[in-house]
Amino acid sequence: MIRGCPTISTTKRLLNGLRQQFASRSRWSDARAIREARIAKATAKIRNVLRYQIVCHQKELERRVCEVGFRFYPLAEGKDRPEPVHMYEARKRLTAQGRLDFMQATIAGNKHFFYYDPEQAAPLVRETLDQRIRAVEAFEAIQRTPALSGWALERLMHAAMTRSGQVDPMPYRSGVDIIAFNGATSTHGIDLAGVHTVAKTPFVAEVKNIREWVYPHSPIVWKLLGTAAELRSVPILIARRIAEPTYLFMDEVGGYAYPTMNQFVDQALDDDPRAAAFRAAAALLGYKDVKLVDPEEPEERFVEFFRTRLGDRLPAMAEKYAAHRDSALAIARDENLWSEISRGRQSGRPRREIVRDYWGALRSNEADDDFDEVMDDF
């Protein structure tokens, strides 16, 4: 078992704990204090990390602050588990106080930010920055190669679906999204689709083998929800890391969020001349969660997910999502939240506000006066 990876029982406890934390009226009153404690924890970790690492890339800092030492509920209280949203706030405050600074570099046409403590000696910062830039270039060169990175997890999950013996999956072709399934067609494609033969329920899955944590306002989530609605299927989100609010949101809308806890790379990398540079970069950046795999040989935890965990929940999830899919599709399509936009196309409002209000409407039967405070965590 991978350390920190949620088992079936752990995931149940996680969701139950999160429901208690975010739905209990007595805990809601403590929401702001818990959030501040998580920001304080992130602040201390940022300072400590940069004391030893000197310079960190934005994703590296996220890994070292939010993931190293991470433990799921109930092994750690919420206040002891800063997530990226808390790290961003801590970073912003430290920068405003003059205790944190950053430099920017363009890599493959994209802006990247590197953070450092301004009290460190300038020559040491520059030397370390150059090392980090070379490492990010080497790491992302492989990430941008779909056959080695993005498709590796899709192939793993498709193999797990097949090997479970409980799923009739749609055929998989690397790089080709599914747009026709369950007698319907979709505006956008989806990575995987199948029918659970025991639960007799169709589902679709969006699979993301990325470093970023997935939050409820992400286009990844809304592409999934909109496409699942069009294909009249249950939405399943599979990603390396999933933020607490996303577990709750997917659960309440009638979907499922499953964290893989690793970033997977096809073992064919070993035949690539960039392999040595990639391995050295992953080590320097602290990405110990990167695993080289045979995409046709899924880990047992993935097989078990499709064999047992998903099948047990699909009927109830399908009933719940059927009640919400028209409204979810309307937001994904009409507001265009399934695309990379900052404001809704129809309302012109920030996408976070749209999602916040939609989630609030889902919870309209629960008298939670402090909903906005807790939603600060996404």
DSSP assignment of 318-340: HHHHHHHHHHHHHHHHHS-TTSS
pTM: 0.91
What is the sign of the dihedral through the CA atoms of 16, 85, 133 and 130? negative
Fill in the DSSP letter of residue 66.
I
State CA 225 to chain mean position distance: 15
**Measuring CA to CA, how many Å separate 356 from each of 231, 289, 363, 371, 377?**
25, 31, 11, 9, 11
How many Cα atoms within 13 Å fall on the side-chain side of residue 164?
26
Backbone angles phi, psi at 366, to 5 degrees: -115, 120
Q: One digit per residue, pLDDT tens: the chain, 378 residues?
A: 334 455 545 455 555 655 555 554 344 457 888 899 999 999 999 999 999 999 999 999 999 999 998 876 656 677 788 999 999 999 999 999 999 999 999 999 999 999 999 999 999 999 999 999 999 999 999 999 999 999 999 999 999 999 999 999 999 999 999 999 999 999 999 999 999 999 999 999 999 999 999 999 999 999 999 999 999 999 999 999 999 999 999 999 999 999 999 999 999 999 999 999 999 999 999 999 999 999 999 999 999 999 999 988 999 999 999 999 999 999 999 999 999 999 999 999 999 999 999 999 988 655 454 455 556 665
Q: What percent of the chain is helix, strand and coil (3-state, nearest 5)?
A: 50, 20, 30
Say how far apart CA 99 and CA 91 lie, in whole Å. 9
Q: What dotted CATH number matches 8-124?
A: 1.10.10.10
Inter-residue contact 287 to 67 (CB < 8 Å) = no
Beta strands 55-57 and 110-116, pairing class: antiparallel
Inter-residue contact 158 to 192 (CB < 8 Å) = yes
Q: In what order do the strands lie in the sheet with 110-116?
A: 55-57, 110-116, 101-107
Beta strands 110-116 and 167-169, pairing class: unpaired
The domain spans of the chain are 8-124, 150-377
